Amino acid sequence: VVAFKIIVINKAETTPLIIDDNTDALEDTRLKYRYLDLRRPAMQNYLIKRAKIVKCAHEYLDDNGYIEVETPILTLSTPEGARDYLVPSRIHHGKFYALPQSPQMFKQLLMIAGLERYYQIARCFRDEDLRADRQPDFTQIDIEMSFMDQEQVLTMMEGLLKYIFKKVNNVDVELPLRRMEYLEAMSKYGSDKPDTRYELFLHEIKPIVEKADFKPFRDAKYVKALIIPHHAEKASRKAIDDISNEMKKYSLPGIIAFKVSNGKMDGSLLKYVDESIQESLMKSLNLQNDDLILVAAGDVFSDICFALGSLRSRFAKELGLVKPNTYDLLWVVHWPLFEISKETGKITSSHHPFTRPYDEDLKYLESDPLKVFSQAYDIVINGYEAGGGSLRIYDQATQKEIFKILGFSDEDVKRKFGFFIDAFKYGTPPHAGIAFGLDRLSMILGGTDNIRDVIAFPKNLAASCPMSGAPEIVDPEQLDDLGIAIKSK
RNA sequence: GGACCAGUGGUGUAGCGAUUAACAUGUCUCCCUGUCACGGAGAAGAUCGCGGGUUUAAGUCCCGUCUGGUCCGCCA
């Protein structure tokens, strides 16, 4: 190329960050100058992949007869679940819209309307604390369909995933995907979104150790062990103390650690454990020299599982057990319908109040609701919950009963869900649905563990936008219009 | 609401009790060059987030605070 003339189209100042794929600018700086950060090819690739995923969803769902429908952004506040973002109404003094946490009720109403197959690339909003994989303002590939049972839904949806993985990353996903029950995921992997790329399992050892004259073993309802192979030598006293300390997060007093050396168990607390018990532990856990055994004991099943589950993933990373460049997809199925809120002690839906219980469990609905399992399913990829859904309740009576169990008064139900319950009167087909987290799928396929990387203009952990400065105070006139006054804190 | 980690030139890091506060990159000037992450010579640029304390002496230790991140709670 021979240039005859050079014209400066626009002058550029020195950029506050280095525009290069290998930039190591702090995220804070990158977010402040996001428009410069997005000049980097690596960042553009995330957005390109994201767009491809959306395109695939359109293609696959269109081809299978799904109709894209938009549902309102200004909608009704829902009493359960995440905190709503509220939008004051100027016309209706003192009243508020809410931004949707999900188009849940609308998509079910579309089933009643007879659309049979719906989808939407849906913006959702939840006013809860943020995480590396959680933004307050996010996108779901939201799907609902009529006249399908769980197996048909899963088959249809894993077809979509296969299509996306092939088109976006040229990865062949083998179908059908594995189905794992919630209880297995929890007790074996210590997570309801197990990372199945590596083996390293939790073991229930309560039956083996309950005879030991050691209070945690004797009295705790659950005693679980995680074996870290060939790690006893490397685990210093300080490292164990650190782990123990971390267990407080899961409301456990600490961790009990044993080692194996010279073919025998070793550890200061073993004086409380008979040799015969030690031997049967050695045998049933198939312990080898230099193994590190971490034991958690307690009465709350989920605490014990999550505690050891966090150690499981931590050691897997540390020891390089995670297979690189693999995508492990599975369905987690058979979830409990309810759970007890730790904070309030009240019963809440584990999924949402529209989830259909298994027919054979309906008999426990009143007497022992925690025994009721639901026809819900999560898609888990490499330890991420990439989506979830359920078969829905489609008869008015069951839906009303669920609301009752959740503690909504008749008046609450009428005001918050009246329109929804009413609709059930007019003939509701059996229906089911799912929502895939577009942001999470983009992370997984893009190969990043930070959700902000795949969102053009994300919020930081404090839920503000370092670039625009949102949220901000507004003019007093705007507040006046809305009849709102700000109370000082 | 809680725990932990970090905050040093424009950018990213090192320094962890007494150094002219180091390095890389960027910026500016000059030299060289058929470019493609050239190369060479030189220059400017940080009082180490903020406040207080300990000490003869503090980026370096302690306390508080702010900001950012990771996690727990929370996320139907």
ipTM: 0.89
- What pLDDT is stored for residue A414 in this prediction? 87
User: Is the pLDDT reported for residue A186 higher than 90?
Assistant: yes
Q: Give every strand in the sheet of A384-391, ordered side by side.
A: A67-68, A117-125, A137-146, A431-437, A384-391, A373-381, A329-336, A178-181
Residue with tokens 């930081």: A460
Specify which residues A228 forms β-bridges with: A292
Q: Which nucleotides of B are covered by protein (CB under 7 A)?
A: 1-2, 10-13, 25-27, 37, 67-76
Q: Which of residues 80-99 of A touch strand B (CB under 7 A)?
A: 80-83
A16-25, A84-93, A106-115, A476-485: lowest mean pLDDT where?
Answer: A16-25
Q: What is the DSSP letter of A70?
A: -
Region A94-115: what's the mean pLDDT?
Answer: 96
Whether A12 CB is under 7 Å from strand B: no
Q: Which of residues 402-461 of A touch strand B (CB under 7 A)?
A: 450, 460-461
A293/B43 CA-to-C1' distance in Å: 61
Q: How is residue A147 written in tokens?
A: 């006249």
Region A462-466: what's the mean pLDDT?
Answer: 94
User: Is the pLDDT reported for residue A334 higher than 90?
Assistant: yes
Whether A128 CB is under 7 Å from strand B: yes
Whether A339 CB is under 7 Å from strand B: no
The whole-angstrom separation of Cα A102 and Cα A124 is 5
User: Is the pLDDT reported for residue A3 higher than 70?
Assistant: no
Q: What's the pLDDT band for A324 if we cut at 50, 70, 90?
A: confident
A17/B44 CA-to-C1' distance in Å: 19
A456/B21 CA-to-C1' distance in Å: 38
A367/B69 CA-to-C1' distance in Å: 46
Nucleotide nearest to A249 (CA to C1'): B72
Region A451-472: what's the mean pLDDT?
Answer: 94
Nucleotide nearest to A28 (CA to C1'): B68
Greater pLDDT, A405 or A343: A405
User: Is the pLDDT reported for residue A357 higher than 80?
Assistant: yes
A269/B6 CA-to-C1' distance in Å: 37
- What pLDDT is stored for residue A1 in this prediction? 54
Task: Give yes or no for a contact between A212 and A295, defined as CB atoms under 8 angstroms apart.
Answer: no
Q: What's the pLDDT band for A237 if we cut at 50, 70, 90?
A: confident
Region A464-477: what's the mean pLDDT?
Answer: 93
- What pLDDT is stored for residue A429 in this prediction? 97
Stated pTM of the model: 0.94
User: Is the pLDDT reported for residue A4 higher than 70?
Assistant: no
Q: Which of residues 295-324 of A touch strand B (CB under 7 A)?
A: 306, 310
A11-20, A30-39, A249-258, A378-387: lowest mean pLDDT where?
Answer: A11-20
Mean pLDDT over the full length of chain A: 92
Whether A21 CB is under 7 Å from strand B: no
Query: Which distant-in-sequence residues (6+ apart) come within 8 Å of A218 by Cβ?
Result: A210, A211, A212
Region A242-269: what's the mean pLDDT?
Answer: 87
Mapped onto helix, strand or coil, the DSSP state of residue A145 is: strand
- What pLDDT is stored for residue A487 in this prediction? 82
The whole-angstrom separation of Cα A220 and Cα A52 is 50
Q: What's the pLDDT band for A408 if we cut at 50, 70, 90?
A: confident
Nucleotide nearest to A20 (CA to C1'): B37
- What pLDDT is stored for residue A489 in this prediction? 66
User: Is the pLDDT reported for residue A321 higher than 60?
Assistant: yes
The whole-angstrom separation of Cα A230 and Cα A194 is 23
Q: CA–CA distance from A455 to each of A19, A138, A253, A444 (Å)?
A: 18, 9, 39, 13
**Residue A329 backbone dihedrals phi, psi, to 5 degrees:** -110, 140
- What pLDDT is stored for residue A168 in this prediction? 97
Greater pLDDT, A461 or A19: A461
How far is C-alpha A11 from the geometric centre of its chain's CA atoms?
Answer: 46
User: Is the pLDDT reported for residue A185 higher than 80?
Assistant: yes
- What pLDDT is stored for residue A488 in this prediction? 73
Task: Give yes or no for a contact between A482 and A88, defined as CB atoms under 8 angstroms apart.
Answer: yes
Return the percentage of chain A with pLDDT > 70, whole number. Answer: 99
